[in-house]
Amino acid sequence: MDLVYTPEQQDFRAEVRAWMDAHVPREPLVTLECREGFDQHVIWERTLASGNWGMVTWPEAYGGRGLDLIQWLIFEEEYFRAGGPNRANQNGIFLLGPTIMEFGTPEQKARFLTPMAKGETMWAQAWSEPGAGSDMAAIGSKAVRDGDHYVISGQKTWSSRAAFADWGFGIFRTEEGSKRHKGLSFILFDLNSPGITRRPIRQLHGDTGFAELFFDEVRVPVENRIAGEGEGWKVAMATAGFERGLMLRSPGRFQATAKRLVELYREHETKASPAAREAVMTAWMQAQAYAYNTYTVAAKIMAGGSIGAEASLNKIFWSELDRAMHRTAMQLLGAAAELRRFDDGRMNQWLEGYIFSLSGPIYAGSNEIQRNITAERLLDLPRVGAG
């Protein structure tokens, strides 16, 4: 164990800091859950790409920097220190990208990864269906082979970023009559293909971040399938592992929130309760604990290990931490908590963040599912009801 950064790592931190300080927008962007805000965030993705900061851990051949995970953590720390915007293309960067790198053909890598790194194509995920949420193996949407195409019919829903993105990925039933985890394939599709209807879903904050997708005999080339026909479940589970695991929620994000919460507490100290004070300290402690844990996991992966069911512990921890921090902030804000904009015109980002934090324990596999996984795979308790 050596908790001192090398001179190279310190230089790298300084390089990221200088670039971020020069480029991160001074005014917060409009939420990416609306057309205007999404477009602003796409411009930011392209700005990042222009500095070659879009996909820092990707190999250089695909537009990345080939950085190791410690450098990635340093990058993320500096990104959130500078107040960098949310990533419009996180589905591509953190989910699909690693999936294509692991399972894709050389042609697929060249075709999809480089435009992703350049910020040219924005990706949406299309996992859930109306009857297949936590129980993803209940998927019914079909992709029927017709020569060198699949013909897709069915419906996806709660598809993050699908209202405004360019491309989507999901799993579809390619074997007629197959059940549960069998007979599924992982397929990429152009969201502007004929036969796809997007219906943006108005979310509880009033904006339209995710969407329903209706597929009416949509023709998709077979070469858009990742891995073999019928291997979709395996690929999707690997993708979901990335989502729950290391990269989707880097600790810098929560450390930045904890720091802002400490500052908010200081502003409201005279009228704050002792309980709020303790909640603020808990926020700092847990954000730090999450950072330590992530550095440990990063070191394990760099030493050739992998992250398994522990990813579920991770997901439970950060999602409930994020919710608790924003809840505390709402308490500190008191009467002003309900305002979407404060008197001085600033957006109430705590309110926005609180609403967003409520989705954390639901998406990427609800925390109930994560607790089942923890109990069954880490504690070896009996599995019941899972097919």
Note whether 316 binds another protein by CB under 8 A.
yes
Note whether 70 binds another protein by CB under 8 A.
yes
Note whether 372 binds another protein by CB under 8 A.
yes
Q: Which of 94-126 are b and which e, b meaning 16 or more Cβ less than 10 Å from the residue's Cβ?
A: bbbbbbbbebbeeebbeebbbbbbbbebbbbbb
Residue in 4, 22, 204, 335 binding another protein, rule: CB under 8 A: 4
Residue 152: strand pairing partners: 143, 218
Residue in 37, 183, 251, 353 binding another protein, rule: CB under 8 A: 251
CB 90, min distance to another protein, A: 18
88 closest CA partner among 162, 158, 157, 23: 162
152 closest CA partner among 120, 185, 181: 185
Whole-number Å distance between alpha carbons of 74 and 78:
6
Q: Which is nearer to another protein, 32 or 298 (CB)?
A: 298
Q: Which of 282-293 are b and which e, b meaning 16 or more Cβ less than 10 Å from the residue's Cβ?
A: ebbebbeebbeb
Note whether 226 binds another protein by CB under 8 A.
no
Token pair, residue 30, equals 């409009």
Q: Which is nearer to another protein, 110 or 302 (CB)?
A: 302
Whole-number Å distance between alpha carbons of 189 and 49:
23
Active-site position among 33, 243, 269, 320: 243
Note whether 296 binds another protein by CB under 8 A.
yes
Residue in 285, 338, 340, 346 binding another protein, rule: CB under 8 A: 285
Active site residue 102: no
Note whether 290 binds another protein by CB under 8 A.
yes
Q: Which is nearer to another protein, 62 or 72 (CB)?
A: 72
Residue in 5, 60, 140, 267 binding another protein, rule: CB under 8 A: 5
Per CB under 8 A, which region of 29-37, 146-154, 215-223, 372-380 contacts another protein?
A: 372-380
Backbone angles phi, psi at 221, to 5 degrees: -60, 145
Residue in 45, 78, 129, 207 binding another protein, rule: CB under 8 A: 78
Note whether 265 binds another protein by CB under 8 A.
yes
Whole-number Å distance between alpha carbons of 356 and 360:
7
Whole-number Å distance between alpha carbons of 67 and 302:
11
Whole-number Å distance between alpha carbons of 387 and 48:
43
Position 380, amino acid: D
Note whether 310 binds another protein by CB under 8 A.
yes
Q: Which is nearer to another protein, 229 or 320 (CB)?
A: 320
Whole-number Å distance between alpha carbons of 73 and 78:
9
Note whether 255 binds another protein by CB under 8 A.
yes
Taken in order 240, 246, 252, 255, is the CA torsion positive or negative?
Answer: positive
| Chain positions contacting another protein, by CB under 8 A | 1-6, 9, 13, 17, 70, 73, 76-78, 80-81, 251-253, 255-256, 258-259, 262, 265-266, 277-278, 280-281, 284-286, 288-293, 295-296, 298-300, 303, 310, 312-313, 316-317, 368, 370-372, 374-376, 378-384
Active site residues: 243
